[in-house]
Structure 1
Amino acid sequence: MATKNSHDRDNNIVNPKHNPTVAALLSIIPGLGQAYNKRYGKGAALFILFAAFVIAMIDFITTGLQGLVTLGEVPREDDSRVFLSNGILSLIFTAFFLTFYILNIQDAFKDAKRIQLGWKVPNIREGFKNAWDTGFPYLLVGPGLFLLMFVVVFPLLFMVFLAFTNYNLYNAPPRHLLEWVGFENFINLFTINEWRNTFINVLSWTLIWTFVATTLQIALAMFLAILVNDPRVKFKKLIRTVFILPWAVPAFVTIIIFSAIFNDNFGAINLQIIEPLFNTRIPWLQDPFWTRVALILIQVWLGFPFVYALFTGVLQGISSDWYEAADIDGANRWQKFRNITFPHLMFATAPLLIMQYSFNFNNFNIIYLFNQGGPAVRGQTAGGSDILISWIYGLTFENQQFNMAAAISIILGLLVATFAFFQFRRSRSFKEEGTF
């Protein structure tokens, strides 16, 4: 007994009879734990909210989860897409319920622990004021979070679930019922020759496209920004305005104009430049190699103004004292660029530059608007200039291979997320301190 009293004194326990474990166990029925803690208003509100949710949603959730397993039972009457949607909504509602249910238990346990240590239970008015003060940020964030769940999470989950079904042109509901096929779509993607060859070719071009186009636009922007920032250059404002113009014009307008300029038969590139100089015409739209070259050139033109604006702002913020100290030490231009200019540029803009790579990895507009992913390639379900995102578009809206498109989308999402995660982690601008 003496040992227990000594332990209570060490932990400053004022009310040892009030047991947090009992409060948590009572909260298995929401609100009872709060009532045990003498927070009757809070307990009544929680009990009413949970009871109302269960009464209103129990039938929908149980039916939805059952339909998620079966995906329908009667062809032409049951639409598997509806069953899948209702099942996903049931999962979201269940996740919400379990989250708040666990928070209810934790709340009762923590309040009981505080009461045990001598905390005075506030009255209803004080409790409401404290809840308002602590919960106000969540009240503002709540509607956006709720909307995000149904605008982003729901479609994403729907796509993920489709990847494990046999939903395609020849097995489309409501005429047919969908079936769960496990990882069959992913296995087919890597074992069937047509799918495997197309996937490897498209993924290879996507990686080349992302790296080459983005790196060139960054390099061009850096070169021009450093050149224009030189004190000897006059009319800086005019030059910077001209360089920003490609960014000011809507991208889709520029792409459509370039698709005409690069046309094999009447495009200005062939008629005014290539043919007079080399007495030949380049098949920009008919040969996959030249289509890819044109796409990279167009993306460099479209992408460099934004990066140029970033670099220009950073360069103007670099103190001239750094360069003066380098001159005193006898550093040449290359050494000043490598040890002062380049580190400053990368440190300040690294996250945005990483986003440029991620954006181009999924840059659907330029691929589709320039040549619709063409030209066609024999033995492939994708065009010669298709990247993963445009291939997915074609599989979905043109070939109606929804299951394969969903499987490729999952792989695409994992690739982008993995690349962005590791690059952001390596970025010095995301660390608390950075040294040059």
Structure 2
Amino acid sequence: MSFHTKIALHYLRPKNNSFVSLLSFISISGIAIGVMALIVVISVMSGFSHTLEKRVIGIESQIIVLNYNGLINNYRKTAKNVSSISGVKNVSPFIYTDIMISSESTSNGSVLRGIDIKTEEEVTNLKKYLIKGDLSGLDNRKRKEIVLGKILAQNLGVTVGDRVTIISPKGRITPFGVMPKTERFIVCGIIDSGMYSYDSTFSFISVRNAQAFLDLPTNVVTGLEVKLYKLNLTSANVFAKKIENKLNYRNASPSFYALSWEELNKNLFSAIKLEKLTMFVILSLIVLVAAFNIISTLIMVVMEKRKDIAVLKSIGASSKDIMVIFIAQGVIIGAIGTSLGLLAGFLIGYVEKTYHIISLPSSVYYITSLPVRMTVDEFLVIGISALFLSFVATLYPAYKAGKIDPAEGVRHE
């Protein structure tokens, strides 16, 4: 240990009735609280983003292919072309439309998805979120069955085995005028994705029944769901563009377009990123205020140790040595506060991640518990930022200490 560090540690030791020691404690506490707050908030925001990504990709596919005309004709040929692209694992057709759905007691708006149960399991994790019933009922040719989101089923007051009526937004012409088309379905399953926006609106039937209900030919669907072998944000966007180029090759005007899961939920994830950045900036101000406390602490130490500084200079210590001593003292204060803050933030995050102490209203936050995701990168960024601010805060007091004249220091004592 260098003599600079030894002297810096000596000045930090608590002394009776020492106002400087109190300031040091306040500085350490301020940095620790600021770093802890940053760790907790950033970890929660990262947890929100990561959890939503998993939930969204679980209930939706990684990429969807649509047609500018609204429907894809001869979809099997289109699906074959998409499957031929290297890196594409599976493709599944779907039909998408808004409907009204009613039970014996009430009615609700719903987003109806017609899916091919045999291929749907290859592109989404829909089966993973099934809490009641069986998805295989959708493939039942003897009777028409439907799967509902958990909140939607609760709002309708139905469960597995009950009957509901779906009402098409497109009416049919009868001698009595335009009448809405309706069909009766039996509830065969309940889905709980943990995301309110899905569980309160989505319903699922077979793509065959959806085609019949909407009077579509059997070779026509709304779009195609695509799953890749390897997924990350970059690959999803790149493959979406590859699919577009493949399907629109030699076409005079583009007919198809593809959207990645990130593009489909762009507003949601952009808002989370913005909130995360905003919270980082705001909470960094706590660390900045604590850094100003370091300035106050070191200035008080310089005033209290003028004689010591004079003695050190008289026995050969240079102005640079004096500066290093006070820089070391400030950095030690910052390091202690940062370490305590990182540890406290980690412990709080670990406890919440393990025991889910804080619950959230799913109607507001999409999920039911406070998510936490702690990464080494974020710990390093926050820790280094706090240490850097602590270092910058030492420069002015250290410079003033280095400029003290030995004779002046002794005379003031």
With a CA cutoff of 8 Å and minimum separation of 6, indicate the structure with the bigger relative contact order.
2
The structure carrying a bigger helix percent of its residues is 1
The structure carrying a bigger strand percent of its residues is 2
TM-score, normalising length from structure 2?
0.26
